[in-house]
Amino acid sequence: MTESTGGIEMEEDMSGTVKKFAFINRKAPYGTIYALESLEVVLISAAFDQDVSLVFADDGVYQLKKGQATKAVGMKNFSPTYRALEGYDIEKLYVEKSSMEARGLTTDDLIVDVEVLDSAEMAALLEEQDVVLSF
C-alpha cells in the first residue's frame, strides 16, 4: 500500500477544511480490482484528516469476510488492512443489513467491528455526506 502515497502535497492551503467522505464498497474483493484500489484511496484520505466513513453493500460485504484464503488464486490477501484502519483513525465502518443477510452472513463472520444499518439508515448516512465515492 506504500506505492500510492505520493501526491499528498497540497496545492493550496486547505488545512482546516474537513469534509465528510463516504466510500461505498459494492464489489467482491478479488474478482475485480475495485476493492483493493478503493482501500488505497481510503488510506490516502486519512492523510488529509477528513471525516471518513466506509460503507459495505451488495457483494462488498464479502470484503470483510473472515478467513479469506487467496493463495490458490494467486492474489494477495489484503483483508488484514481493514483491521489496520483504526490506526489511521478510520473507525466508521457500516454494513448494509439486507446485503449481509442475503449472503447468509452475520457480524460474527466479519474481521472488524461494524455498525449494521438498514436501508433507511443508510440513506440518512449518505444524505449527510459531502463526498460520496462508490467503488
Partner 1 sequence: MKFGILINEGPYNHQSADSAYQFCKAAIERGHEIDRVFFYHDGVNNATKLTEPPQDDRHIVNRWSKLAEEHGVDLVVCVAAGLRRGIVDDNLAAGFRISGLGQLVESGIRSDRVVTFGD
Would you count residue 89 as binding partner 1 (CB under 8 A)?
Answer: no
Would you count residue 7 as binding partner 1 (CB under 8 A)?
Answer: yes
Go through the chain and tell me how many residues it has: 135
CA 130 to chain centroid, in Å, comes to: 16
DSSP-assigned letter for residue 45? H
Question: Which set of grid coordinates corresponds to residue 86?
Answer: 483504526
Which residue is it, cell 496545492? Answer: 11
| Site track 9-48 with partner 1 (rule: CB under 8 A), x = hit | xxxx-x--x-x-x-----------xx--x--xx--xx-xx
Question: Which set of grid coordinates corresponds to residue 17?
Answer: 477544511
Would you count residue 134 as binding partner 1 (CB under 8 A)?
Answer: yes
Interface ranges with partner 1 (CB under 8 A): 3-12, 14, 17, 19, 21, 33-34, 37, 40-41, 44-45, 47-48, 50, 130-135
